[in-house]
Structure 1
Amino acid sequence: MNPVPAINHPCALCCRPTSMWCSRCQSTWYCTPEHLQTDWPRHRRECVPATHAQNYNVIATPPPAEQQMITVSAILFEPEEERPRIITVKCRPPQVPSQGMCPQPLIGMHFPHEQTESIVLTQGLNGEPLRFPLHLWYSPTALSRCAPVNRAIYHITSGAAAKHWCGTVVVLKFNGSRRQGYSDAGSNDLPALSAYFLAYK
């Protein structure tokens, strides 16, 4: 988990990968200053100046060098794919590292135009506690609007789930029970996930 430069975040307007953000709030990404200006009527309602910002101008700029990302492996369950696959997810470190908060995974490109929610899976097979809890991110609107059944989840449960899951799921793994950071998720985590999706109602 080496720090990497903050790159390839989706532009809030066109979703093109970018390495520039709104210099005022430092939390929304734009591929060009023009896209920030175009999106400003909408973005201004949510643009809260970052307390540590060096520059309060509303322009798209590269983030400062000290803002380092961490990269971890995660599991992606795409609705139209037959099997889950391992992907790389960049995580933004907490604003105040000394407070021990968990990094923010940058997974918006897997949920275009959708809000996400998450749940933490703390038990595995037969109710055994997981040493490294799993963090599942999903779209509640995909579940509520009965989007197509997620074929990758259907596959790992052999179609035996009482209720089928709809929409995309991204799974990260905490690096310990305190949930203050992530480690690499992998195929060893699939049995616990399968047990969860089988029990989902």
Structure 2
Amino acid sequence: MSMNHSVSLINHPCAVCFMSTSMWCSRCQNVWYCSPEHLQSDWPRHRLECVPIASARSHVLPTPPPVQPQLITVSAILFAPQEDRPRVITVTCTPPSTPAQGTCPAPFIQEYFPREQPNNIVLTQGLNGEPLRFPLQLWYSPGALAVNAPINQAIIRITSGSASKPWCGPVIVLKYNGSRRQGYADAGSNDLPALSAYFLAYK
């Protein structure tokens, strides 16, 4: 932090300690701080009112970078067409940029669907129609289903080949952390019976 003492400036009270200062937030230039530390400590409050201006002026304090959404990782189940059994993978998710009621983190799964945007369905019932406490979200390739791509061997395995219609293309299964579907929990082998029941009933 540097100051040009040859320039006469009007001092203002620091927003944190009220000490007289001639330095302000560089982003909005409306709030004054005596030190970078006080700007940093006040940033969680000030960021809600900090509106950037186009012009730049001297004697400014660098504004902290915007808070980035916290990435989370969860376990998911991958049914790869060429593999003979499902396996657990790690999926990274990012929360919505503007959290709202009913929204859920967005999973990064495009690498498993390189040719198209995957669709998803939500299973709310398991074996014998029992409601699932933690609904399952199945991401799949609509194009693979439409053109009868290679049959998914991992799904054949968990259904013992008894499904009335074969499933084509990859499937990734994420597990919601509750019926409100606002986040994910780790999926695992305990979820396979409900998935097997679904694939057996798929037509």
Fold similarity call, TM over 0.5: yes
Unaligned runs of 5+ in 1: 1-53, 55-62
Does 1:140 find its partner at 2:142?
yes
1:191 — aligned with what?
193
1:129 — aligned with what?
131
So what's the TM-score if we normalise by structure 1?
0.67
In structure 2, C-alpha distance between the alignment counterparts of 1:64 and 1:116, rounded to whole Å:
31
In structure 1, C-alpha distance between the alignment counterparts of 2:200 and 2:100, rounded to whole Å:
39
- Over 3 Å counting, the alpha-carbon distance change for 1:64 and 1:168 in structure 2 is farther
Tell which structure's C-alpha radius of gyration is larger: 2
Q: Is the 8 A contact 2:102 2:181 kept in 1?
A: no
1:180 — aligned with what?
182
2:68 — aligned with what?
66
- The alpha-carbon deviation at position 65 of structure 1 amounts to 5.7
Does 1:118 find its partner at 2:120?
yes
CA RMSD of aligned residues (A): 1.5
Of 155, 158, 162, 1:156 maps to 158
In structure 1, C-alpha distance between the alignment counterparts of 2:162 and 2:104, rounded to whole Å:
34
2:84 — aligned with what?
82
- For residues 116-159 of structure 1, give each alpha carbon's deviation from its aligned partner in whole angstroms, at most 9, with x where no partner exists: 10000000000000000000000110000000100000000000
SS at match of 2:198: helix
- The alpha-carbon deviation at position 173 of structure 1 amounts to 0.2
In structure 1, C-alpha distance between the alignment counterparts of 2:98 and 2:67, rounded to whole Å:
16
So what's the TM-score if we normalise by structure 2?
0.66
In structure 2, C-alpha distance between the alignment counterparts of 1:188 and 1:114, rounded to whole Å:
30
SS at match of 2:193: helix
* 1:5-20 equivalences in 2 (<5 Å): none
- For residues 81-126 of structure 1, give each alpha carbon's deviation from its aligned partner in whole angstroms, at most 9, with x where no partner exists: 0000000000110111243410011100001122210000000000
In structure 2, C-alpha distance between the alignment counterparts of 1:115 and 1:142, rounded to whole Å:
11
Identity %: 71
Deviates more, 1:96-105 or 1:145-154: 96-105
* 1:37-76 equivalences in 2 (<5 Å): 66-76=68-78
In structure 1, C-alpha distance between the alignment counterparts of 2:178 and 2:191, rounded to whole Å:
14
- For residues 165-191 of structure 1, give each alpha carbon's deviation from its aligned partner in whole angstroms, at most 9, with x where no partner exists: 000000000000000110000000000
Amino acid at match of 1:161: A
In structure 1, C-alpha distance between the alignment counterparts of 2:73 and 2:183, rounded to whole Å:
11
In structure 2, C-alpha distance between the alignment counterparts of 1:128 and 1:139, rounded to whole Å:
27
SS at match of 1:177: coil
SS at match of 2:174: strand
2:59 — aligned with what?
none
In structure 2, C-alpha distance between the alignment counterparts of 1:158 and 1:65, rounded to whole Å:
49
In structure 2, C-alpha distance between the alignment counterparts of 1:65 and 1:151, rounded to whole Å:
43
Amino acid at match of 2:153: R
